[in-house]
Chain A
């Protein structure tokens, strides 16, 4: 039960992820931007602390990877390689090892996809791969669902962070199961959690932070916006707003109206 030793801070403090305290709660993907210059500008506006990256086949003499890696290094942010596109545990494990060597980090965003249309994680392959990678010394960030049993298995496997989806990758639908996400957050209050995937609007990121999640990870909502740089800034502000609202202890909602202006002293008029 290693998860009981997680790195969650005191109420209202930014959590650490495997002992790393990030300056902001924004994790941003690096794919699908109109150009490297716009990727660079969006990242700087976002103040994101983490950049997700991947590994892909390199053609001999192409040097495409070198230019990209130089751009990311100059951003000065924490790098989180992924295993995107992997459909089996064994494929994900091999990809993670290649990523560790290329990016010189033990952090891995573990994706084992189980359904081609929804890109829903394969829970069985995910636990299998997480078990192997934790044993191999990786700091695993599993891309998961809001499923409580799966969360339990991943924590037992050695994961100290969970990354439940808001909605299927690239949909922009926001938090489609708020009840499930609230349950997950409440069930494991001391486990750092990142809402990963499915966000389309800054208000949805604010909602995730207001629910008590520790960070959000997104890509398409910024990269595919008409103005990615402006959208990166909008998400940064929304994440800060949601985080601050959570620490400010929001009021409890109620069914019946209650006047905010005191009735005492109101003029008696007929």
Chain B
């Protein structure tokens, strides 16, 4: 199915958020996630089911003022 990952249209086969992170190459990276604008804690990624057209945001620590 086609979803958006950080604004880029991406084809994935996995359906849970944690499996999609693995499939997309995030592996063990320290990241936080949101789906369709809603925060998904790390402990809920395995039960968070992603559907076609969903927008997944994956962020990491960065410089800020």
Contacts and interface: CB of A to CB of B under 8 A. Distances in A.
A186 interface: no
A145 B25 CA distance: 42
Contact of A98 (B27, B34, B63): B34
Nearest to A31: B63
A254 interface: no
B62 A53 contact: yes
Given A66-B30, A98-B32, A101-B42, A81 B64 contact: yes
Interface centre among A31, A60, A103 (most CB of B within 10 A): A60
B42 to A, nearest CB: 6
Given A55-B32, A60-B24, A90 B37 contact: yes
28 contacts: A32-B63, A54-B61, A54-B62, A54-B63, A54-B65, A55-B59, A56-B62, A57-B7, A58-B6, A58-B58, A59-B6, A60-B25, A60-B29, A61-B27, A64-B62, A66-B29, A66-B60, A69-B61, A72-B61, A81-B64, A90-B37, A94-B39, A97-B39, A97-B41, A101-B32, A102-B59, A102-B61, A197-B65
Interface of B: 6-7, 24-27, 29-34, 37-39, 41-42, 57-65
